[in-house]
Structure 1
Amino acid sequence: MSATLLAEQVLNGLQLGVMLFLMSAGLTLIFGVMGLINLAHGSFYMVGAFACAAVAAATGSFWLGLAASLAGAAAAGTLVEAAVIRRLYARDHLDQVLATFALILVFSEGTRWLFGSFPLYLDIPPVLQGAATLPGGVQYPVYRLAVIGLGVAVALGLYLLISRTRLGMRIRAGENDREMIAALGVDIGRLNTIVFALGAALAGLAGATVGALQSVQVGMGEPVLILAFVVIVIGGIGSVRGALLGALLVGLVDTAGRFFLPRIAGLFVPPAEAGLVGSGLASMLIYVVMAVILALRPRGLFASHA
């Protein structure tokens, strides 16, 4: 295997990792601040992708579509938090799971009613088309490099937001002692709405960026949601830093498994079966990694620290 091919797989893993970070950062903030299990988080990913595709098709501008994905997902998150979620904070986790699962069905059927059952497609903007030559002669798509850069920028922005702003101070305090900050005069309801809308917007941004790499379709958020939960469990629930590290780890492990394991399986089973066996093992690999990490650190890598 050449160094060029290995570098391409590492970059693919990083690109998957930053997309998962955009999903899981909002999810871990919502759980950390509100103590809410939100199964509908993948629906905001889908909303962002559809908003981007619809606006880009209507205006011819991918950038307006990207802005629409943020605005649409944030608006959907605000509406859902006000209408449904705020009634669940004091309820049992089972009630939260059932209610947010119902929201998945509502969003899926509503999206199908608005856009139909056929997938939509997003075109990569001309400025991000083609491939760039990286050191070592590696040719890699410009758009995927831009997605990696976007993830790094969002991670830096979240770090500055949480560590350097008054809102971030309230988010950190809300994770540790909601009752105390409420007694000090902080509007907990408003804080919850802001955090939920922020998490939804990040998920919508992830959906929009991925929409240009694959089709935009109903139900696209559920498979990604499963990986996002793996990420926050590995990183530590409530930790944005843990979400970043966990997302990169999951992205690299998943990409490496899907590339290497079918080839390794070919050494032991007939070539016709190697792909199937290798793919099956690759799909299990991230859960094996999660189990090992939880055996060593039961609360995740960076539990309870945003």
Structure 2
Amino acid sequence: MSPILLAEQILNGLQSGVMLFLMAAGLTLIFGVMGLINLAHGSLYMVGAFAAAAVAGATGSFLLALIAALAAAAAAGAMVELLVIRRLYARDHLDQVLATFALILIFSEGTRWLFGSFPLYLDIPPWLAGTVMLPGGIEYAAYRLALIGAGLAVAAGLWWMNARTRLGIQIRAGENDREMIAALGVDISKLYTLVFAIGAALAGLAGALVGPIQSVQIGMGEPVLILAFVVIVIGGIGSVRGALVGGLLVGLTDTLGRLLLPELFKLVTDASGAATIGSAFASMAIYILMAGVLIWKPTGLFGARA
């Protein structure tokens, strides 16, 4: 195996990881502040992707498509919180799971009614097309490199919001004692709506950014949602820093596992068997990682409480 191929796969793992972070960051914010299990988070990822594809197709502008994805996902999230989620905070987690699962079906059928059943396609913008020559002779797609930069920039922005702004203080306080901040005069209902909209916007942004490297289709958010839950369990529920570290770990583990495990099994079996066994173990690698983290630290890497 060449060092260049390994370096490219590491970059692919980083790119996958930062996109998972965008999904997981919104999910962990919502769960940390509201204690809500939101299975419909993947549907907001899909909403952002479809909004971006529709606007890009109509205007030809990728930047307008990203703005539309953020706005559509945030608006959808705020509407869902106001109309449905607000009635679930005091309910059992099973009620939350059933209600948000119903939202998945509603979003899927609503999107099918608006856009049809066929996939949409979002083109890579011309100014990010082609490849970039990196040190060491590594030729890598400019768009994927931009995704890594965008994800890290969002991570820095979330850190700044959480650590340096009044909203961040309220979010951190809400994670620890929501009754107390309500007693101090913070409108907890508005805070919940805003946090839900921010989480939804992050999911929509992830969907829009991934759109050019995969088809935009009904149900595209559900597989990513499963990985996002793995990320927040590894990183620690409620921790944005944990979501970033967990996303990078999951992205690298999944990508490098698919590359290295078949090669490893070639040492003990034939090429055909190594490919089959290696692929099977690679698909299990992130769950083995999650189990290992939970055995070592049940609250996750940066979780303050279970």
Equivalent position SS for 1:132: strand
1:252 aligned residue: 252
Q: Deviations over 1:200-225 (max 9, x none)?
A: 00000000111000100000000000
Matches of 2:220 and 2:261, distance apart in 1: 25
1:215 aligned residue: 215
Equivalent position SS for 1:158: helix
2:95 aligned residue: 95
Kindly indicate whether residue 194 of structure 2 is the aligned counterpart of residue 194 of structure 1: yes
1:297 aligned residue: 297
Listed as ranges, the matches of 1:15-54 within 5 Å are 15-54=15-54
1:128 aligned residue: 128
1:148 aligned residue: 148
State the percentage of identical aligned residues: 74
Amino acid at match of 1:148: I
Matches of 2:97 and 2:265, distance apart in 1: 38
Listed as ranges, the matches of 1:94-113 within 5 Å are 94-113=94-113
1:229 aligned residue: 229
Listed as ranges, the matches of 1:171-186 within 5 Å are 171-186=171-186
Matches of 1:141 and 1:19, distance apart in 2: 16
Matches of 1:178 and 1:62, distance apart in 2: 39
Q: 8 Å contact 1:44–1:76 — kept in the other structure?
A: yes
Amino acid at match of 1:26: G
What displacement does 1:273 show?
4.0
Any stretches of 5+ residues in structure 2 without a counterpart? none
The runs of at least 4 aligned residues of structure 1 exceeding 6 Å deviation read none
Matches of 2:42 and 2:304, distance apart in 1: 23
Matches of 2:204 and 2:283, distance apart in 1: 25
Equivalent position SS for 2:213: coil
Q: Number of paired residues?
A: 305
Equivalent position SS for 1:193: helix
Q: TM-score, normalised by structure 1?
A: 0.98
Matches of 2:280 and 2:302, distance apart in 1: 30
Matches of 1:74 and 1:9, distance apart in 2: 33
Q: 8 Å contact 1:132–1:139 — kept in the other structure?
A: yes
Equivalent position SS for 2:214: coil
Q: Deviations over 1:225-247 (max 9, x none)?
A: 00000000000000000000000
Amino acid at match of 2:237: I
Greater CA drift, 277-286 or 49-58: 277-286
Q: 8 Å contact 1:32–1:304 — kept in the other structure?
A: no
Q: Deviations over 1:152-172 (max 9, x none)?
A: 100000000000000000000
Amino acid at match of 2:218: V
Equivalent position SS for 1:11: helix
Matches of 2:304 and 2:179, distance apart in 1: 17
Equivalent position SS for 1:212: helix
Q: 8 Å contact 1:40–1:104 — kept in the other structure?
A: yes
Q: TM-score, normalised by structure 2?
A: 0.98
Query: What RMSD in Å do the two structures reach over aligned CA positions?
Result: 1.0
